[in-house]
Structure 1
Amino acid sequence: MNSKELLAILVSFDTTSRESNLQLIAFVREYLAQLNVSSELIFNEERSKANLFATIGPADVPGIVLSGHTDVVPVDGQAWSVPPFQLSERDGKLYGRGTTDMKGFIASVLAAVPGFLAQPLRLPIHIALSYDEEVGCLGVRDLIARLAERPCKPRLCIIGEPTQLQPVLGHKGKLAMRCDVHGAACHSAYAPQGVNAIEYAAELIGELGRIGRQLQAPELCDSRFDPPFSTVQTGVISGGKALNIVPAECRFDFEVRALPDTDPQAVAQQLQRYAQQEVLPRMRTVAAGSDIRFAELSAYPGLTTDAQSDAARLIADICGSDDFTTVAFGTEGGLFDSIGIATVVCGPGSMDQGHKPDEFIHATQLEACDAMLERLTTMFRM
């Protein structure tokens, strides 16, 4: 099967992060098995999702990992003009959820397997498919832990997130946090006798905004990134029961998108200090049981690969370009890099189309990815 045919099959599986990816994994495992390629599955605790890892070529020398995530973002509330889980083609564009982010890359990798097998490889090519990337790079962590235990780790990892096949050596890290504000309810006619959790949460959110502005100081910027500074934003907030009740509870979720040399935990700690030293004492003068609690939702590190490194030179040869760049979105790249596997991001399609209704990838991008993997095959043959 060619990459377009494989993409049609991959898109047909609803692998929204809240759903299981096991049907897609079963298809890939059977596809590889028919080509006499064995694969290892690494399940989550509930065995409702799995990572897949397969090796083609010698296992006792360092090779290259081709990494992709199988989950996609929801289509809920989006106005699609085509069925989201059915591949549609129009004017040279292939439509469907995940076409660009990032089942297009996975389809190209699978289509390249017969070529990988056609002649003996002097270096191995590994296929790594993970789950729950879209909700914090969760699934790939167990897979990476297995790789860390191997006596011969891969030399390089290519993550096929959509970059229009331009090699990316850097991206920001992310920290997602939840803050629960517990106050004291009362009748709104006697509002000063209560502790309004929403108002105090708003004060904390305002402090987050001030911290975010501090991060824009010129000395903290890196012009390689867009935007060139670390960012903070509140994305979800909930609280209150009725307008005539002072709300006792409020919850909000916020995230830090940090430049690789900025510790996002420091941002969270700055807010926590403000909460403990400035806000909570005032709350407790009214109601001693008031509290502010923080919990980490997810986190992954940033990525910076040296443009002069052997890994960067190799990816330049594979991609046919040494025009390295950075991206604002995150990947599992920093996690691979943390165990000594140099990592770059390079895949077909553009994130401009990702996460949107009528997501698509240009057919020419899929063909270009096929050609890139053919170059990889030629370079790794004996």
Structure 2
Amino acid sequence: MNTRQWLETLVGFDTTSRNSNLELIATLRDSLEQQGIKSWLAHNKEKTKANLFATLPATAGANAGTTEGGIVLSGHTDVVPVDGQKWDTDPFKLVEKDGALFARGSCDMKGFIATAMAMVPEYIAMPRAKPLHLAFSYDEEIGCIGAPVMLEEIVKRGIKVDGCVVGEPTSMNVVVAHKGINVFACKVHGKSAHSSLTPQGCNAIEHAARLICAIRDFADGYKANGPYDQFFDVPFTTMTTNQIRGGIAVNTIPELCEFTYEFRNLPGMTVADIQARIDAYVKDVLLPKMRAEFADARIEIDNFAGSPALEAVEQAAITELVRALTGDRETRKVAYGTEAGLFQKIGIPTIVCGPGDIGNAHKPNEFVTLAQMERCEQFLRKLGKSLEAV
């Protein structure tokens, strides 16, 4: 199949993160197998989702047949929901209009996966002295949950590669850094009581509100005082509370309040140091207030999802290669997260470069332009040729 046909096939699978991606993964695996390419899967605990990793061995020279070294092309197979969005077309059916391809995931990021899969026959035919690898993950959109399962297996199997390109939408420009993203679930446990007997209870919502305001104060401090990195579109670490629920009735003191918060940290700022400020506030300020009302009050905080920041090394071979192939020499750093930091964490030099504008991702009528897809195809072709035997 060509790139257009692959994209049409991939967007036809509703791989919203709440759903299984196994049917899509099976389609990729079967296509690769038919072309003589072996792959392995790394599943979630429930066996309802899977990552796929495949290697196209070197085809020429003294290294013919080797699977060591080479470059990984990485992408995630899940997409964000369309719930509540007003689409002009069926979001899971590819529609071409005015030089663009519309569908959920066309931009973020099935366009890159489609291009990589369409290139496989060419890659097989190229006299490459090094292998190419394909790494397709699940659940990136809900905190990069799937990729660590695959990366753990890569380490376990002793797979060695030279570099990785994560094809998130960058308009085919080079992104050398992005922030880390860390998502926390907080449960504030108080004591219920009839609201007419307020002193007999411990209001979980009100104490949760104190913690939420403290998180906002920390965020304001980073905005006002830094540290800063002016290459980022948002040049400081951000913190925000995004979900909250609690209470069972208008006349009952709530015993439980749950909320989630996240922070997106600049490279160089550790998750532990940022979270330590929140933990200190809980221990030294909030819990004493709560336990003065209810001795068994407690607060649980769970870091349930996240991905580390990326800070690519300019001198790394993969950075120099991608810059050379794209002709892009600008320094670009972005606030959104990707799986690139996870690859870098296990020692694989990584860069971000893929088709589409991130501003079109996650929106109704998501699209990728035909011109961007063509640029991606040209880039991946050049990348393959860069591995050819001399």
Shorter-chain TM-score tier: over 0.9
Give the deviation of 1:149 after TM superposition: 3.7
Asked if residue 231 in structure 1 is aligned to residue 235 in structure 2, the reply is: no
Asked if residue 145 in structure 1 is aligned to residue 152 in structure 2, the reply is: yes
User: Quick check: 2:126–2:385 contact (8 Å CA) kept in 1?
Assistant: no
Give the deviation of 1:189 after TM superposition: 2.1
Q: Secondary structure at the match of 2:181?
A: strand
User: Quick check: 1:57–1:120 contact (8 Å CA) kept in 2?
Assistant: no
Work out which of the residue numbers 296, 302, 314 in structure 2 matches 1:295.
Answer: 302
Aligned residue type for 1:164: S
Give the deviation of 1:379 after TM superposition: 1.3
Q: Secondary structure at the match of 2:223?
A: coil
Aligned to 2:24: 24
CA distance in 2, matches of 1:111, 1:105: 10
Q: Secondary structure at the match of 1:9?
A: helix
TM-superposition CA deviations, 1:149-202 (whole Å, max 9, x none): 455511010000000010111000111111111111222223233211111111
Work out which of the residue numbers 332, 356, 359 in structure 1 matches 2:363.
Answer: 356
User: Quick check: 2:56–2:67 contact (8 Å CA) kept in 1?
Assistant: no
Asked if residue 188 in structure 1 is aligned to residue 216 in structure 2, the reply is: no
CA distance in 1, matches of 2:158, 2:182: 31
Aligned residue-pair number: 382
TM-superposition CA deviations, 1:226-283 (whole Å, max 9, x none): 2100000000000011111111111110001000111123222211211121111121
Q: 1:15/1:219 Cα in 2 relative to 1: closer, same or farther (>3 Å)?
A: closer
Aligned pairs (5 A) from 1:1-382: 1-58=1-58, 59-151=66-158, 153-382=160-389
TM-score by length of 2: 0.95
CA distance in 2, matches of 1:311, 1:354: 26
Q: 1:128/1:280 Cα in 2 relative to 1: closer, same or farther (>3 Å)?
A: same
Bigger mean CA offset, 45-54 vs 249-258: 45-54
User: Quick check: 1:71–1:134 contact (8 Å CA) kept in 2?
Assistant: yes
CA distance in 1, matches of 2:296, 2:338: 41
User: Quick check: 2:78–2:139 contact (8 Å CA) kept in 1?
Assistant: yes
Q: 1:219/1:180 Cα in 2 relative to 1: closer, same or farther (>3 Å)?
A: closer
User: Quick check: 1:167–1:346 contact (8 Å CA) kept in 2?
Assistant: yes
Give the deviation of 1:54 after TM superposition: 1.1
User: Quick check: 1:105–1:161 contact (8 Å CA) kept in 2?
Assistant: yes
The alignment's C-alpha RMSD in Å is 1.4
CA distance in 2, matches of 1:109, 1:199: 51
User: Quick check: 2:57–2:132 contact (8 Å CA) kept in 1?
Assistant: yes
Give the deviation of 1:318 after TM superposition: 2.6
User: Quick check: 1:307–1:324 contact (8 Å CA) kept in 2?
Assistant: no
CA distance in 1, matches of 2:271, 2:45: 28
User: Quick check: 2:226–2:236 contact (8 Å CA) kept in 1?
Assistant: no
Gaps of 5+ in 2: 59-65
Give the deviation of 1:61 after TM superposition: 3.8
Give the deviation of 1:213 after TM superposition: 1.4
Q: 1:61/1:38 Cα in 2 relative to 1: closer, same or farther (>3 Å)?
A: closer
CA distance in 1, matches of 2:67, 2:74: 20
TM-score by length of 1: 0.97
Q: Secondary structure at the match of 1:220?
A: coil
